[in-house]
Amino acid sequence: MKIDELKQIIKGQKPTPHVFLLWGEEAFLRAHYKKQLTELLMPDMMEDLNVFYFDGKNYRIEEVDEAIEALPVMADKKLLIFTDSLIFKPDGRSGAKAEYREYWTKRLQDVPDYAFILFDENEIDKRSALMKQVDKSGACIEFAYMTEEEMVRWTQRLFGRFGKEISPQDARYLHEITQEGMMAVRREAEKLSAYVGDRPRVERQDIDLLVTPPVEGKVFDMVAAMLNQNAGSALKMLDDLFVLKTEPQQILGAIMYNAEKLLSTKLLMSNGADKSQIMSKLKISPFAASKFMKDSAKYSLPQLKTLVDRLAETDGYMKSNSMEKTVLLNLLVAEIATEK
């Protein structure tokens, strides 16, 4: 089902299915429509007795069955909301147990007219039989990342709702440094709009002053300097992170994150993956995907594999060795940045 069809359901222009599955990387949109659906499906009375919340995969099937089978209390409907139930992942190691999937396969074929069920999932397997079952008889909606152009336009509209303007270039820049999608951009937009006061336009200098990039973003350029054998620049960036009181283990984790994303992007591109496939596989925004695709092309596969292996070794050594962690990081960055 497309989002436009979901909007029609919310507006009462289409019949309301009894089962909804919301999933995808764009948490902001998913949360937005989950809220709207919850308001639509919420019983008019006795919410405490007619609305049931199940968080995670370790709930009791008996409780779910009892909640579904019992008639609503002083209302004409009841609502069950599941968050990250993992029943749409067939792999029992990373998903729900087989008994849960078996239960839902039967249960979803027999949902009473008064019951509505809403699944909110971070991850699903599109090959899941349960997902196909919901898609056929209910409503299955994916909230994937929008394109860069769509996100820029959305950001400009967002600032407009706060009574402010932002140029397309600065909207793009804001996305590039936040890296976490619409949820993070909305938080920063609220902060920036309040900061500029009566000034109608948010400028690049406002973003640089108020928005702190995540450590992963700050480290991206340092990884590039390391791979390009620019030791002076890489060590200067590392020292800047130490000045900001960033923990060495967090810095190493950020270096590993960027190196692994570069390697994964390189491998995916070598197998013919396009940008949307890279975004989906690596769970990254279109802006991050563009960045990793551009930079991974600059380095060889052996070069990136060696870097990832060295970082993994250092991670183990840092966790088991008493040597000062800042010293270990300085040695690591200097060695990689000077290797020929």
Residues with Cβ within 8 Å of residue 144, at least 6 apart in sequence:
24, 25, 26, 276, 279, 280
Q: Rounded to whole angstroms, how far apart are CA atoms 66 and 86? A: 21
Please tell us whether the domain made up of 215-338 is placed in CATH 1.10.10.10.
no
Q: Rounded to whole angstroms, how far apart are CA atoms 61 and 104? A: 9
**Cα→Cα distances 302→83, 253, 263, 299, Å:** 41, 21, 9, 9
Q: What pLDDT does residue 49 have?
A: 92
Q: Rounded to whole angstroms, how far apart are CA atoms 200 and 221? A: 33
pLDDT digits (tens, 9 = 90+) for 247-306: 999 999 999 999 999 999 999 999 999 998 898 888 888 888 999 999 999 999 999 999
Among 81, 83, 91, 77, residue whose Cα is nearest residue 44: 77
- What is the band of 316 on the pLDDT scale with cuts at 50, 70, 90? confident
- What is the band of 91 on the pLDDT scale with cuts at 50, 70, 90? confident
Please tell us whether the domain made up of 3-142 is placed in CATH 3.40.50.300.
yes
Q: What pLDDT does residue 340 have?
A: 61
DSSP class of 142? E
Do the Cβ atoms of 223 and 252 come closer than 8 Å? no
> 72-81, 90-99, 147-156, 325-334: which has the minimum mean pLDDT?
90-99
**Residue count (the chain):** 340
Amino acid at 287: F
Q: What is the mean pLDDT of residues 190-210?
A: 95
Please say if the pLDDT value at position 205 is more than 80: yes
Q: What is the mean pLDDT of residues 157-184?
A: 91
Q: What is the mean pLDDT of residues 91-112?
A: 87
Q: What is the mean pLDDT of residues 113-132?
A: 92
Fold: same for 3-142 and 215-338: no
To the nearest whole number, what is the mean pLDDT of the chain?
A: 91
Residues with Cβ within 8 Å of residue 114, at least 6 apart in sequence:
71, 72, 76, 77, 78
Q: What pLDDT does residue 92 have?
A: 65
* Domain ranges, ordered by start, for the chain: 3-142, 148-210, 215-338
Q: What pLDDT does residue 324 have?
A: 83
Q: What pLDDT does residue 159 have?
A: 96
Please say if the pLDDT value at position 318 is more than 80: yes
Alpha-carbon Rg for the chain, nearest whole angstrom, is 24
pLDDT digits (tens, 9 = 90+) for 30-66: 999 999 999 999 998 888 999 999 998 889 999 999 9
- Report the percent of the chain where pLDDT is more than 90: 66
Phi, psi values for residue 108, rounded to 5° = -70, -10
Amino acid at 241: L
Q: What pLDDT does residue 214 have?
A: 83
148-210 CATH fold: Helicase, Ruva Protein; domain 3 (1.10.8)
Which tokens hold the place of 248?
């060495």
- The dihedral sign for the CA sequence 278, 280, 281, 282: positive
- What is the band of 217 on the pLDDT scale with cuts at 50, 70, 90? confident
Q: What pLDDT does residue 190 have?
A: 95
Question: Would you call 23 helix, strand, or coil by DSSP?
Answer: strand
CA 77 to chain CA centroid, Å, is: 32
- Enclosing H/E stretch for 78: strand 78-83
Please say if the pLDDT value at position 338 is more than 90: no
Which tokens hold the place of 291?
């960045």
Question: Would you call 197 helix, strand, or coil by DSSP?
Answer: coil
- Report the percent of the chain where pLDDT is more than 70: 99
